[in-house]
Amino acid sequence: MDRNSQHRFRAVVVGVSSGGVDALKQVIGSLPAGFPLPVLVVAHISPEADNGLALLLDELSAIRVKEADELEKAAAGTVYLAPPNYHLLVEKDATLSLSVDPPVRFARPSVDVLFGSAADAFGPALIGVVMTGAGCDGSWGLGRIKDAGGVTVVQDPADAVADSMPRSAVEAVGPDHIVPLERIAPLLVRLATS
């Protein structure tokens, strides 16, 4: 039996921007070995960046962290980062795809692109998380997750390094959970194992 079929959820998607590296270190670094879901991440970083963020997070984490590859199947217990300057999407069969389509809300990769495609692929079996960042990327996509019956989580804007992205998500979506950064990983573990 597929390990994911034992749980309500099939994946977690995360979006961050300004202040996102430290937020990801906190959250990804706190997920335990054996975390039962794939975690797909869009972080707004320089288009010229290399895979240094994936390497850093992998060293700090009990679960595997890597940049997503085209046509890779999302596997439990692995964090997939959108490569710089590529949108990350999820196909219906949970295969990952990369796109160089134009930026969305001035961003490529775009949180909204990932969240929207993941909502289509996973429906109510998806957890969406918006954390620290500037702008409003992620609000529309988090709304898609909520409309599909998934669970929505937003970092408390008062706790964020840059509060406009989480504040926009709170105002647009009315998320299921608004929590400080240090409570996001424990919440994800609780949801993933429920």
Catalytic residue numbers, as ranges: 17, 44, 137
- Sign, CA dihedral 4-142-51-59, equals negative
- Sign, CA dihedral 53-145-95-187, equals positive
**DSSP secondary structure letters along 132-160:** S-SSSTTHHHHHHHHHTT-EEEEE-GGG-
Provide CB contacts within 8 A for 152, sequence distance 6+.
127, 128, 142, 145, 146, 169, 173, 175, 176, 177
Q: Which of 100, 28, 107, 36 is nearest to 74 (CA)?
A: 36
SS3 65: strand
Q: What is the dihedral of CA 90, 91, 97, 101, to 10 degrees?
A: -90
